[in-house]
Each structure stands twice: as C-alpha cells, then as structure tokens.
C-alpha cells in the first residue's frame, strides 16, 4: 500500500513539473480577443512576434510584376 501512495505522489509531482510553464517559454494561450491591429498596407511579408497579438510588416513593397508593378508603385 505504501508503494502505491509513493507512486501517486511522484506521478502528481511529475505532472505539476511538466505542466508548469518556465519563464522562457512562450504562453500559447494568450487571449487576443478585442485586439485592434493596424492595417499593414503594401506589406509583402508579415510576422507575428512571440507574445504579440498583431502581426508586423517584415518587408514592404510591391509584389506586382510588369505593367502591374507601375500601377502598384503609383498607387502607393
């Protein structure tokens, strides 16, 4: 009987250790409900930083080619 109780204590300790987030670990369950993110105009590549709710623009410019490139540049 003592062996079963000891195993239960170790199992509980292992679960608590495994489920407790470390300070360096990102929090995957961040609630971004209601976050108002700015529009990323003329953005070719976006990135979402760890812990952020809104994406930032990594590369701006025109993804168009040929005659579309001119229209894109003129449109801003």
User: What is the pTM assigned to this prediction?
Assistant: 0.45
Structure token digits, residue 52: 């952020």
| Residue 40: alpha-carbon gap to chain centroid | 17
Give per-residue pLDDT as tens, 4-21: 556 566 655 554 455 555
CB distance 57 to 63 below 8 Å: no
Q: What is the pLDDT of residue 49?
A: 93
User: φ and ψ at 51, to 5 degrees?
Assistant: 85, -5
Q: What is the pLDDT of residue 41?
A: 87
Dist. CA 60–CA 75, nearest whole Å: 14
Domain boundaries, the chain: 39-76
Please name every residue paired with 47 in a beta bridge, in sequence order, or none if there are none: 56
């Amino acid at each position: 009987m003592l062996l079963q109780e000891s195993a239960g204590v170790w199992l509980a300790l292992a679960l608590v250790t495994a489920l407790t987030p470390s300070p360096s670990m990102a929090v995957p369950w961040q609630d971004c409900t209601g976050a108002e993110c700015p529009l990323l105009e003329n953005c070719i590549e976006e990135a979402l930083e760890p812990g952020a709710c809104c994406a930032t623009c990594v590369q701006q410019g025109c993804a168009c080619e040929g005659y579309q490139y001119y229209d894109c540049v003129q449109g801003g």
